[in-house]
Each structure stands twice: as C-alpha cells, then as structure tokens.
C-alpha cells in the first residue's frame, strides 16, 4: 500500500533555525522512493519558493515549490473555487498576496467581497480600512486560526487569528477560518498529493506536532494522524484531548525505515494505549486556537506550526 504524507514544518522538520535530528534523512527517503508528500503549514506569510529556500539553507535540498502548501494557497484555492471573480481587501504578506494574485483574485479597497486576514503586522490604518469594508458588506476570512506564532523558544508574535479576532470585535461579524484544522485545507492537500508526477496514495498520513491543528484536522478528514514529540506537544498532555493521534513518534526520523521499505509499519496504536495518564492536570495550557484558554496564565511558548 502506497502511503502519502502531509508534513507540518515547525516542530517536525525544524525548530527555530535548527533541523530536527533525522528530518533530513526522512525527506531524502521520501524523495528517493518517489513517495507522495507535501509540507503543510498554517503560516500564510511565505511563498512556496521562500519555504524551499529556507529548507535548503537548513540542509534539506532537492525540494521545489510544488512540495509546499500554505494556508495562503488554501485561501486562494477556496475563493477561486467558491466565488470566482470575487474581490478582496488583504491584511497580509507576500505569500498571501502572491497566492491570491496567482488565482487572479483582484484587490479592492472600496467595496470588496471579502476582507482576507493573514499573518503580518497590520497598521491601525489598514485595520480601520478593513473594518470599514466589513461595514459595507465584505465577509471576513482568515487564512488560519492561530492566535500566536512562535518566533523563538522564548518569544511569540500575534498570528492571523488574533488580527481576525480584532475585526470580529470591532465589526460584530464572525470570521471563517481556513488552514489547519479546517477540512478544506486537508481535502485540497490530499488532492495535490495525487497530482501528475505522484501516484494517488492509498492512504494519507498527517505528521504534526500540534494536537489542535495537525491531529484534529487529520482525524476530522479521515486521515491517519501521527504526532511527533519534537515540537509543541508533550506526551503527558495528549490525554487531555478528545481526539487522539494514530501513532506517537519521537521524531519524523522514526519513519525513515518504513519509507525505505526496510521496516514494517507498526499497527496504529489504540488511543487508550497512548497515554498512561489521560488527565495530566495541565488543562489551561495556552493553545494557539483555543479561545477558552485566553485568560489562563501565559506559559512558556510551546505551540508551533
Ligand atoms: Mg508545528
């Protein structure tokens, strides 16, 4: 059975500016065996070209833009499919502007159909403009629901979800959030795995380090969800979630032998076997997309994407 892989980046392939041990060999194995795979990120700021260069500098070569799918590309796919010829007012950066442009979605600062919110610092002037557009009837769309994003082990920055929340508060309108864990992100990514050059995979595995986005989206999309412990989630917290990963790995390097065909895939673990301590007592940890955790003390940054 040919397996296709959707792979989160931050916390799975690298953390900050360091590769996670075994990640380079894993990607080499995917490339060498012609295994279908796609890097899946909620970060709407970079273009696929930017991401290929970033991984090259980190020591992973042989990748091209077609190996990446961002929430910005997902947003552009969504709009071009559901509302051809729509217009948008954008709060975002190069990756989002490029993705929308490639789908021939026009910018409109007067009476757009949508205000599209992505990563990036929005000036008060642009926020006010977006607010006015929404008051004139524009619908509010965010590339992803992440309220904050990691910058380093000790530092975060506001994410697209936080900017969208500002506009939700000012306008009284609710945003629609694309990106992980939205099923549309997973559905389009699965479709890309089977595009020319790749055989359609028999099954699809999402590999990620974040329960709320990677594993939740996999479960809701009928994929296998493999949690790696090299990023934001610690083993003792897994039992706090209603949805559970199919497998838990230390790093993606644990899958290299399977991809090369020199090890049998392990049977997915039953959720009950995953965590000996299902209630860790750590409820209230601040999650990227969990507004209920908003008023809890801010812990050391842990969530990545
Ligand atoms: Mg991650």
pLDDT value for 296 = 44
Distance 86 CA to ligand 1 centre (A): 32
Distance 290 CA to ligand 1 centre (A): 16
Cβ 287 vs Cβ 212: under 8 Å: yes
pLDDT value for 266 = 64
pLDDT, tens digit (0-9, with 9 covering 90-100), for 194-208: 876 666 777 999 999
pLDDT value for 64 = 96
Residues labelled as active-site residues = 8, 10
pLDDT value for 198 = 66
The predicted model gives 43-60 an average pLDDT of 96
**Which has more pLDDT, 168 or 17?**
168
Q: How far is CA 253 from the centre of its chain?
A: 20
pLDDT value at 15 more than 50: yes
Distance 273 CA to ligand 1 centre (A): 24
pLDDT value for 194 = 85
| Residues, Cβ < 5 Å to ion ligand 1 | 8, 10-11, 209-210, 304-305
The share of the chain scoring above pLDDT 90, in percent, equals 77
pLDDT value for 304 = 34
* DSSP notation for 213-237: IIIHHHHHTT-EEEEETTSS--GGG
- Write down the pTM of the prediction: 0.87
pLDDT value for 267 = 57
Distance 18 CA to ligand 1 centre (A): 14
The predicted model gives 72-82 an average pLDDT of 98
pLDDT, tens digit (0-9, with 9 covering 90-100), for 210-246: 999 999 999 999 999 999 999 989 999 999 999 999 9
The predicted model gives 116-121 an average pLDDT of 94
Distance 111 CA to ligand 1 centre (A): 36
The H-or-E segment that residue 6 falls in is strand 3-7
The predicted model gives 20-41 an average pLDDT of 96
Name all domains of the chain by residue range, CATH numbers in brackets.
72-177 (3.40.50.1000)
pLDDT value for 154 = 81
Q: What is the mean pLDDT of the chain?
A: 88
pLDDT, tens digit (0-9, with 9 covering 90-100), for 256-289: 999 999 876 665 554 444 544 444 433 344 555 6
Cβ 258 vs Cβ 264: under 8 Å: yes
pLDDT value at 295 more than 50: no
What confidence category does residue 72 fall into, taking pLDDT thresholds of 50, 70 and 90? Answer: very high
Q: Which long-range contacts (CB under 8 A, 24 or more apart) does 48-54 make?
A: 48/73, 50/94, 50/95, 51/9
Cβ 30 vs Cβ 193: under 8 Å: no
């Amino acid at each position: 059975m040919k397996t296709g892989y959707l792979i989160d980046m931050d916390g799975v392939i690298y953390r900050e500016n360091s590769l996670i041990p075994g990640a380079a060999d894993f990607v080499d194995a995917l490339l060498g065996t012609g295994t279908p795979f796609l890097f899946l990120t909620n970060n709407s700021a970079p273009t696929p070209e930017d991401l290929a260069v970033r991984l090259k500098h980190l020591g992973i070569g042989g990748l091209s833009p077609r190996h990446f799918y961002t929430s910005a590309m997902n947003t552009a796919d969504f709009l071009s499919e559901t509302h051809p010829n729509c217009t948008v007012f954008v709060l975002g950066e190069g990756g989002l502007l490029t993705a929308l442009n490639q789908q021939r979605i026009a910018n409109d600062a007067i009476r757009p159909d949508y205000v599209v919110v992505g990563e990036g610092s929005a000036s008060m002037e642009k926020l006010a403009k977006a607010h006015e557009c929404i008051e004139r009837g524009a619908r509010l769309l965010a590339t992803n629901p992440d309220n904050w994003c990691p910058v380093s082990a000790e530092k975060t920055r506001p994410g697209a979800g936080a900017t969208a929340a500002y506009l939700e508060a000012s306008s009284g309108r609710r945003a629609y959030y694309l990106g992980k864990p939205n099923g549309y992100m997973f559905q389009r990514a699965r479709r890309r795995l089977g595009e020319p050059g790749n055989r359609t995979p028999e099954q699809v595995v999402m590999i990620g380090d974040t329960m709320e986005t990677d594993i939740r989206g996999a479960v809701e999309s009928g994929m296998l969800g493999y949690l790696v412990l090299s990023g934001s989630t610690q083993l003792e917290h897994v039992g706090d979630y209603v949805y559970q990963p199919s497998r838990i790995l230390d790093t993606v390097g644990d899958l290299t032998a399977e991809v090369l065909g020199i090890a049998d895939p392990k049977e997915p673990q039953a959720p009950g076997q995953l965590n000996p301590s299902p209630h860790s007592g750590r409820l209230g940890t601040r999650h990227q997309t969990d507004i209920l955790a908003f008023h809890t003390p801010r812990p050391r940054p842990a969530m990545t994407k």
